[in-house]
Amino acid sequence: MPGASPPAGLSRELIALRAARELEPGSVVNLGIGLPTLVAGFVEPTDQILFQAENGILGYAGISESDFDPDLINAGGQPVDLVAGASFFDTADSFAMIRGGHIEAAVLGGLQVSAQGDLANWYVPARGGGSVGGAMDLAVGARKLIVAMAHVTREGAPRIVEVSDYPLTAERCVDVIITDLAVIDVTKFGLALRETAPGVSVAEIVGRTGAKLDTSGPLSEMSL
Amino acid sequence: MPGASPPAGLSRELIALRAARELEPGSVVNLGIGLPTLVAGFVEPTDQILFQAENGILGYAGISESDFDPDLINAGGQPVDLVAGASFFDTADSFAMIRGGHIEAAVLGGLQVSAQGDLANWYVPARGGGSVGGAMDLAVGARKLIVAMAHVTREGAPRIVEVSDYPLTAERCVDVIITDLAVIDVTKFGLALRETAPGVSVAEIVGRTGAKLDTSGPLSEMSL
Amino acid sequence: MIAEVFDSPDDAVSEIAEGATILVGGFVSAGTPSNLILALKRSGQTDLTAVANNIGLGDLLDELCEDRQLARVIATFAIRASGGRKSRFESLYHAGEVELELVPQGTLIERLRAGGAGLGGVLTRTGLGTMMQDGKQVLELDGERWLLERPLRGDVALIKAWRADRLGNLQYRLAGRNFNPVMASAADLVIAEVEEIVEPGEIPADQVGTPALYVDRIVQCEPIPVRWEG
Amino acid sequence: MIAEVFDSPDDAVSEIAEGATILVGGFVSAGTPSNLILALKRSGQTDLTAVANNIGLGDLLDELCEDRQLARVIATFAIRASGGRKSRFESLYHAGEVELELVPQGTLIERLRAGGAGLGGVLTRTGLGTMMQDGKQVLELDGERWLLERPLRGDVALIKAWRADRLGNLQYRLAGRNFNPVMASAADLVIAEVEEIVEPGEIPADQVGTPALYVDRIVQCEPIPVRWEG
């Protein structure tokens, strides 16, 4: 039912919080620009997660509240703090990490995700262009790819579709989709609903999803 | 006249001295293992030549007389001192320098050099093997390749030949050959005698050279 | 090979030719040679190709669009997917007055590295099955498909470091390295803007980020801070 | 991802399997993990493939030939062109009891880097027109010929650094880096021998040579100096 008023889903912050819960303690994680940068604010120091920024930092600790140092920013240009044991490196070494499979998980924003896990997140046909940044390398290199995005567009059109009609970031790369309405796994059999947002029904999620969604598996409400 | 007793040519030290004279002040130079390592002892600090060692040093200053530090060696495993302004890097960065054309000159040893400047310097068929080290990368990457070697083998056979019968290091890579008897340029027309060692005649050099040697250009005796 | 010290960024960039390809180091605000970019603007040189991570993200590279000095840009960030104030570059691009080659960041740095390291190209999975594959050779090896990416070099590289010594060794601070060391290896003329020039030996040998052999010109400048507000 | 600290090199290498491919860092005496090599000798594990810059140049890797633990060696220096005392490896090699793949040094490091960086290969001129070309694909691109070199990885990497922090960050001293940082990126299990273990933050962030994410096991050992007398 595209066009109908959307159900009250999660805020951007709660999507980020739910995405943070998807990360393994002790893992190395890259956060894309936009909503994903909020994820760094929702992990505990005891989780010992090391955030990698593709501009050359391993071990930054969320957005800095102190003075802006132009040489100490994340990939979104925001000032960051460091954890003890952080390191710096150049872009070649940074993408060797990313492309070489040394990043356990990446959280990226999305424009569309297809039934087979193709991601489109860099090019908006209506704007006649886009910016790819490190998204294509992260999509092929991260061992687990989490897409955090609104379930539907501002106009109410599904972002989860059978086949993407946007230029792709990479084919068959997405593992998990976290939206304001649901947590959906991309499996070799297709999309499988795992969790629903509080107060959102399975029928509402299916109605706002443009691809076949298996709802027969174990289902729970997100705990936030 | 292979087999005849060799004329009294330059010592290894004097070959190294003559090779050192071939280097441009202010240039970056890599020295191969063996005789070429002696070259570092024959440049003046005022020449501001920076020696690169493929194991990861730019700016070493000849063989060290002080204590042996296992982490501060040249590519031949010898202890070295550093100049002010030296730097360290890993092997990937070192061969990026070498292969990328950032080394002005390399001085390598040779087993054979052919008329078109092919170099063979890593594999001795009689020994059934060899060690290539960085020689192939230096041969294709250094902007000027100087080969410093004995003019003939211990058995008196020419090392400068029409076509090499040893496994090659690289094709068409040698610019200058410096031996105990002569300095020979490799030009696009073939080999050209440039200098003779003191007391060595042009006829003796031609006689001990297994390839056509142009002796018609301007000729001088080496000044040492 | 000893680097030459220049008194002003304008002198340092004065020989950049019309139509040159310029590699520009930096990532948004970090390690960005803003003084050299502004000097290039003042030089008025045109028909330039700029290779940079980003244009129009608060960076001063966008200033080169004011007088249409750029004919072509090779970048990873150039047109924002979301709304907000358009950069000068975006306006020119949509008016068809500047060309854009968008390249994935990991591919851009490998192409530059190949250009500097004497490699003929590298094989990557990045971009397979996307628009980035168009016009490129795909190799199938042992049942896996790879995109062949070719080397990229510049006539000039404009880079930014924290300190230089008089030989040309550069030291970076914090996340100021990013594209700078690789770009310094991949251009015929390398010009570095630094905050301080010291004597050889003052930068410890194991803290040199770009060895002296890569650097042709150095100029000391007060850094110009830039910031991207998203 | 936090590195595990082991009490002895023997414990650190105890899970290396028969038939494993082992990357061994170091260049002759510099940055060579001699304690780990000797522990591997004591483990008695056989049918190993060793990938290293050198074998038999005063290095202890040659000790693995005493009990024929190596089935295959991939190296740049292995058989000396000149005379002198034969290494154990040379004797085994000439007896046909160990295989050797000799690789140019710049090609070896690029193959390892490709293995660690997720690249399918690189194109180099090194080795064109030589024995190194045998059995390899040659690409002609824009009139230039290039040799395609494929990635190389290990099951295990044995590396040596000066200091480690408890997260696994490594700091090298002098020319001790050489093959170590790239090998640390190109193996499933990375074991580092270090002279000292410190707390996270004690190695300054801009002096980390191998970031913590690459290192699985660290063990503090008194370094064993080796020296090649030519």
The span from the CA of D126 to the CA of D133, in Å, is: 9
Residues 1-30 of D with CB under 8 A from C: none
Copy the structure tokens of residue D150. 């494929």
Copy the structure tokens of residue B55. 């194991």
Q: Which one, of D168, D125, D162, lies nearest residue D144 by Cα?
A: D125
- Give the residue on D whose Cα is nearest the Cα of A97: D117
In DSSP terms, which residues pair with C148 in a beta bridge? C123
Name chain C's partners: 3 or more CB pairs within 8 A: A, B, D
All residues at 6 or more sequence positions from A181 whose CB lies less than 8 Å from its CB, including other chains = A7, A9, A10, A151, A196, A197, A200, A204, A205, A208
Which residues of A are catalytic, by number?
Answer: 54
- Give the residue on D whose Cα is nearest the Cα of B101: D125
Asked if D147 and D126 touch (Cβ cutoff 8 Å), the reply is yes
The span from the CA of A177 to the CA of A179, in Å, is: 6
CA distances from D225 to D126, D203, D221 (A): 33, 24, 12
Contact D122 C119 (CB under 8 A): yes
All residues at 6 or more sequence positions from C83 whose CB lies less than 8 Å from its CB, including other chains = none
Using a CB-CB cut-off of 8 Å, the residues of chain D touching A28 are 1, 213
pLDDT at A7: 65
Count of alpha carbons within 13 angstroms of residue B192, beta-carbon side: 13
Place of tokens 């399975």: A202
Q: How far is B171 from chain D (nearest CA, A)?
A: 6
pLDDT at B2: 45
All residues at 6 or more sequence positions from B46 whose CB lies less than 8 Å from its CB, including other chains = B25
Asked if C146 and C124 touch (Cβ cutoff 8 Å), the reply is yes
The span from the CA of B23 to the CA of B19, in Å, is: 7
The span from the CA of B2 to the CA of C153, in Å, is: 49
Position B3 pLDDT exceeds 50: no
Position D11 pLDDT exceeds 60: yes
Asked if C72 and C24 touch (Cβ cutoff 8 Å), the reply is no
The span from the CA of B179 to the CA of B110, in Å, is: 10
Of residues D121, D172, D206, nearest to C123 (C-beta) = D121
In DSSP terms, which residues pair with D102 in a beta bridge? D75
Question: Which tens digit of pLDDT belongs to each residue from C155-189?
Answer: 999 999 999 999 999 999 999 999 999 999 999 99
The CATH number assigned to the domain with range B12-221 reads: 3.40.1080.10
Each residue of C189-226: b (16+ CB within 10 Å) or e? Answer: bbbbbbeeeeebbebebbebbbbbbbbbbbbbbebeeb
Cα distance from N-terminal residue to C-terminal residue, chain A: 27
* Region C124-143 average pLDDT: 97
Residues 22-51 of B with CB under 8 A from C: 26-28, 48, 50
Using a CB-CB cut-off of 8 Å, the residues of chain D touching A86 are 205
* Region D32-56 average pLDDT: 97
When the pLDDT of each residue in chain D is averaged and rounded to a whole number, the result is 96
Tell me how far the alpha carbon of residue D167 is from its chain's centroid. 22
Question: How sure is the predictor about A92, in pLDDT bands with cuts at 50, 70 and 90?
Answer: very high
**Predicted complex ipTM:** 0.97
Name chain A's partners: 3 or more CB pairs within 8 A: C, D
Contact B52 C213 (CB under 8 A): yes
* Region B55-62 average pLDDT: 94
Copy the structure tokens of residue B221. 């005796």
Question: Is residue C155 domain-resident?
Answer: yes
Question: Is residue C138 domain-resident?
Answer: no
Question: How sure is the predictor about A2, in pLDDT bands with cuts at 50, 70 and 90?
Answer: very low
All residues at 6 or more sequence positions from B78 whose CB lies less than 8 Å from its CB, including other chains = B37, B63, B64
The span from the CA of C47 to the CA of C16, in Å, is: 11
Using a CB-CB cut-off of 8 Å, the residues of chain B touching D136 are none
The span from the CA of B130 to the CA of D76, in Å, is: 9
3-state secondary structure of C106: helix
Position B124 pLDDT exceeds 80: yes
The span from the CA of C125 to the CA of C142, in Å, is: 14
Cα distance from N-terminal residue to C-terminal residue, chain D: 41
Phi, psi of C62 (to 5 degrees): -60, -25
Using a CB-CB cut-off of 8 Å, the residues of chain A touching D169 are 85, 87
Copy the structure tokens of residue D110. 């690029």
Q: How many domains are there within chain D?
A: 1
Contact B89 C200 (CB under 8 A): no
Q: Which residue type does B43 have? A: V
Tell me how far the alpha carbon of residue A70 is from its chain's centroid. 26
Helices (H), D18-171: 34-43, 88-94, 105-117
Of residues C121, C141, C172, nearest to D123 (C-beta) = C121
All residues at 6 or more sequence positions from D147 whose CB lies less than 8 Å from its CB, including other chains = D123, D124, D125, D126, D127, D128, D132, D133, D136, D137, D138
Catalytic residue, chosen from B13, B54, B65, B104, is B54
Is D68 an 8 Å CB contact of chain C? no
Q: Would you state the torsion angle of the CA atoms of residues D88, D90, D93, D97, taken in this order, to the nearest 10 degrees? A: -10
Contact C93 A129 (CB under 8 A): yes
The span from the CA of A181 to the CA of A199, in Å, is: 9
Question: Which tens digit of pLDDT belongs to each residue from C108-128?
Answer: 999 999 999 999 999 999 999
Using a CB-CB cut-off of 8 Å, the residues of chain A touching C58 are 77
Contact B58 C211 (CB under 8 A): yes
Question: Which tens digit of pLDDT belongs to each residue from A188-209?
Answer: 999 999 999 999 999 999 999 9
The span from the CA of C145 to the CA of A116, in Å, is: 19
Residue B9: which region, alpha, beta or left (left: phi > 0; alpha: psi -120 to 50)?
beta
Contact A72 C81 (CB under 8 A): no
CA distances from C38 to A70, B126, C42, C155, C158 (A): 18, 63, 6, 18, 11
Of residues A85, A87, A141, nearest to D118 (C-beta) = A141
* Region B157-177 average pLDDT: 98
Q: Which one, of A207, A186, D122, D53, lies nearest residue C124 by Cα?
A: D122
Of residues A28, A100, A103, nearest to D116 (C-beta) = A100
Place of tokens 């896990």: A117
Q: Which one, of D220, D224, D209, D129, lies nearest residue D171 by Cα?
A: D209
Position B98 pLDDT exceeds 50: yes
Using a CB-CB cut-off of 8 Å, the residues of chain C touching A128 are 79, 94
- Give the residue on D whose Cα is nearest the Cα of B80: D175
* Region B84-103 average pLDDT: 98
Question: Which tens digit of pLDDT belongs to each residue from A48-87?
Answer: 999 999 999 999 988 888 889 999 999 999 999 999 999 9
Position A6 pLDDT exceeds 60: no
The span from the CA of B38 to the CA of B51, in Å, is: 12
Instruction: Show the domain range for D200.
Output: 4-117+150-220
* Region B144-165 average pLDDT: 97
The span from the CA of B132 to the CA of B168, in Å, is: 10
Q: How far is A224 from chain D (nearest CA, A)?
A: 26
Position D1 pLDDT exceeds 70: no
Place of tokens 């007389």: B65
3-state secondary structure of B116: coil
Question: Which tens digit of pLDDT belongs to each residue from D49-104?
Answer: 999 999 999 899 999 999 999 999 999 999 876 667 789 999 999 999 999 999 99
Question: Is residue C139 domain-resident?
Answer: no
How far is it between the farthest Cα atoms of chain D? 56
Residues 119-158 of C with CB under 8 A from D: 119-125, 139, 141, 144, 146, 150
pLDDT at D207: 98
CATH code, C157: 3.40.1080.10
Q: Write the DSSP assignment of B125-184 as a string of letters.
A: GGGTEE--TTHHHHHHH-SEEEEE--SB-TTS-BSEESS--SPPSBSS---EEE-SSEEE
Domain boundaries, chain B: 12-221
Question: How sure is the predictor about A3, in pLDDT bands with cuts at 50, 70 and 90?
Answer: very low
Using a CB-CB cut-off of 8 Å, the residues of chain B touching C2 are 26, 48
Percent with pLDDT over 90 in chain B: 87
All residues at 6 or more sequence positions from C145 whose CB lies less than 8 Å from its CB, including other chains = C125, C128, C138, C139
- Give the residue on C whose Cα is nearest the Cα of A82: C174
Using a CB-CB cut-off of 8 Å, the residues of chain C touching D124 are 118-120
Each residue of D53-91: b (16+ CB within 10 Å) or e? Answer: bbbbbbbbbbbbbeeebbeebbbbbbbbbeeeeebbbbe
Is D102 an 8 Å CB contact of chain C? no
Position B7 pLDDT exceeds 70: no
pLDDT at B6: 57
Position C230 pLDDT exceeds 70: no
Name chain D's partners: 3 or more CB pairs within 8 A: A, B, C
Copy the structure tokens of residue D109. 């490091």
* Region B136-162 average pLDDT: 97
Helix or strand run (H / E) with residue C92: helix C88-94
D53, D54, D77, best to mutate vs chain B, most B CBs in 10 Å = D77
Using a CB-CB cut-off of 8 Å, the residues of chain D touching A85 are 165-167, 169, 200-201, 203, 212
Of residues D124, D205, D207, nearest to C120 (C-beta) = D124
Of B70-79, B174-183, C111-120, D201-210, minimum mean pLDDT range = B70-79
pLDDT at B130: 83
Contact C118 B83 (CB under 8 A): no
B121, B137, B140, B163, best to mutate vs chain D, most D CBs in 10 Å = B137
The span from the CA of B58 to the CA of B72, in Å, is: 12
